[in-house]
Structure 1
Amino acid sequence: LPHRYPFLLIDRIIELDIPNLKVKALKNVTVNEEFFNGHFPEYPVMPGVLIIEAMAQAGAYLMIKKLKAEGADGDFTVLFAGIDSAKFRKPVRPGDQIIFEIEGLNIKKSMGKIKGVAKVDGQVVCEAVLMAALKKS
């Protein structure tokens, strides 16, 4: 992924299954995250849009790896194109570890659609369907 600190929101890819279009990633949420300074100082909660962004980053990784496995050469940039049916179930707090489970629904050379589920301690905290445009860099 081209993302870097402070906007790289995935700590590690823990599983990649290209034939079944699945990836699993994790994020260790620490009290030192910049966004906790203002969201919210007395009750720190990870912003939902950043959970979605982390989900999108894991999905982008899957999309790029799939295209490379199919023989695509060069580098790709994955651009957010849309969000469907995002739901936030529980707040994510400092000390939580988020596991992102991403499934590719439709990944082509120019567009991708994924379903993402974010879990903390086995409980769903967020789920969404995301779309992205893929551009050769």
Structure 2
Amino acid sequence: MTVTFDLHRLMQAHDISAYRLERELEGQLNRNTIYAMTRQSGVKRIDLESLSKIVNVLSALLGRPVQAAKLFTVTPEAHTLRRTAAGTHYTGDRETDEVLDDHPDILERLARRNATSRATATHE
């Protein structure tokens, strides 16, 4: 999974400039840090204290609470998007994925077996 910090996108959507954010955060965060975080290319790491300060300032600027999650985009890896022949997402484990591909009915067979086991256990 890939996680990207998209402060730039939120700022564009609400017409907030990097300069304005920098002015609002003056003295709270380093100027270079603010500008680096507002670039479209984003950042690789983010300090939780810095994130908290940005969320607080954005909430004040927008006049409503901003959820930190709105500043991130999560993209699943390709293997989690495809499905096995059994109908489940690929796990990334080669052996498990091969079994799920080679035996498309395996999950149905396991469900029937479990149902039979439960029925037998309740009759005893």
- Provide the TM-score with structure 1 as the length reference: 0.20
Q: Which structure is larger by alpha-carbon Rg, 1 or 2?
A: 2
Greater strand share, structure number:
1
- Provide the TM-score with structure 2 as the length reference: 0.21
Higher relative contact order (CA 8 A, sep 6+): 1
